[in-house]
Amino acid sequence: MSKGKLVLENGTVFEGTLFGFNGISTGEVVFNTSLTGYQEILTDPSYSGQIIIMTYPLIGNYGVNKTDIESEKIHASGFVVGNYEDEWSNYQGERSLDDYLKKFRVPGIFGIDTRALTKMIRSEGAMRGLIADDKYDEKKLLEKVLASPSMSGLDLVKKVTVSGAYTLKSKNPKFRIAVYDYGVKKNILREFLKFDTELKIFPADTDHKEILDFKPHGIFLSNGPGDPEAVTYAIENIRKLNGQKTPVFGICLGHQLLAHALGGKTYKLKFGHRGGNHPVKNLDKNSIEITSQNHGFAVDETSLDADTVKITHTNLYDNTNEGFRHKKFPVMSVQYHPEASPGPNDSKYLFSEFMKLVQK
């Protein structure tokens, strides 16, 4: 393993040791506060274009396996950890995290002060960065960082969506669910398959007419990466699907796109919500859920028509919007991840609530 550096767009350089793929990689530098689940995080398509800092100090100690994946590859641009443990131990483990990163050509760096780095991101906001070998000139690396794209205005959905439609079925399917794939996680699909469903997963730019031709009992809008405002084709198709009798359920990016389709707006958070410990208040039930989150944008709930939309969930860290429902049509969405992976299971009831709408 060779020496490397993490260069931030504000000019700060953190020195450490490289692991995984030895190459130059740029992305938006963000932090995740989860204690476990690094493999699920790396393979979550919502992390496309981002370099992830893990705030938990010890990473790699249980290796990786074929089970704990949310897609077929790593989507993160890079991985930053405090201490990397190559001597992994787990009854399901198959290889080291180092080997896994090399397989998908993703660079990692360890041995840096992730606490200081995270505090910098919290105070200055998420910023562009780069992981590279120590041999490169810092001035040229900074120029490369500043030339890399900003997350605002970036459509990354086209990069992660499925290339063609495919079908998944429960043993005894009774209900057809059309899934718009903006970067869907496998565990979301697994949750739906528990309800005797036939899922047809469609590419993100599928025309709304093709969705309706499937004659779905429900329509799901998945999670995904990037700026929701840039995914104009998705917003337009969702707008044309709204007002139907078919129930609609959005998660994360799907939630934001649905807000745009209803005339609302989104904005970029300073450093985002990423981790498995975010308290959310369910305003309908007057209860608190600890949730799994991964998003850098949020819905401006003041931009939503109060006569049309009912706010259902609020983040207790910063009072940002975490969910809403349509007052007239069977439409519901949440900003966080009820399927977890990783994270708590407090919010899995949302799948049941949506399926009750479907069954009606």
CATH architecture of 3-147: 3-Layer(bba) Sandwich (3.50)
Residue ranges of E strands in 252-286: 265-282
Tell me which of 208, 255, 313, 337 is the catalytic residue.
337
pLDDT on residue 146: 98
| Tens digits of pLDDT across the chain (360 residues) | 899 999 999 999 999 999 999 999 999 999 999 999 999 999 999 999 999 999 999 999 999 999 999 999 999 999 999 999 999 999 999 999 999 999 999 999 999 999 999 999 999 999 999 999 999 999 999 999 999 999 999 999 999 999 999 999 999 999 999 999 999 999 999 999 999 999 999 999 999 999 999 999 999 999 999 999 999 999 999 999 987 789 999 999 999 999 999 999 999 999 999 999 999 999 999 999 999 999 999 999 999 999 999 999 999 999 999 999 999 999 999 999 999 999 999 999 999 999 999 998
Q: Do residues 200 and 165 make contact, with C-beta atoms less than 8 angstroms apart?
A: yes
Domain ranges of the chain: 3-147, 157-359
pLDDT on residue 119: 98
Residues with Cβ within 8 Å of 325's Cβ and at least 6 positions away in sequence, in order, are 309, 310, 312, 331, 332, 333
d(CA 150, CA 295): 15
Tell me which of 28, 70, 191, 252 is the catalytic residue.
252
Confirm whether 252 is a catalytic residue: yes
Q: Do residues 44 and 51 make contact, with C-beta atoms less than 8 angstroms apart?
A: no
Confirm whether 322 is a catalytic residue: no
d(CA 104, CA 318): 36
**Percentages (nearest 5) of helix, strand, coil residues in the chain:** 25, 35, 40
265-282: strand order across its sheet: 166-169, 197-203, 175-181, 218-221, 248-251, 331-334, 321-326, 309-315, 265-282, 287-300
Q: Do residues 75 and 42 make contact, with C-beta atoms less than 8 angstroms apart?
A: yes
Q: Do residues 229 and 260 make contact, with C-beta atoms less than 8 angstroms apart?
A: yes
Task: Please report, for residues 15, 58, 148, the alpha-carbon distance to residue 134 in angstroms, rounded to integers and kept in the order given.
Answer: 8, 23, 20
What superfamily in CATH does domain 157-359 come from? Class I glutamine amidotransferase (GATase) domain (3.40.50.880)
Tell me if the pTM is above 0.85.
yes
Tell me which of 40, 191, 322, 339 is the catalytic residue.
339
Confirm whether 339 is a catalytic residue: yes
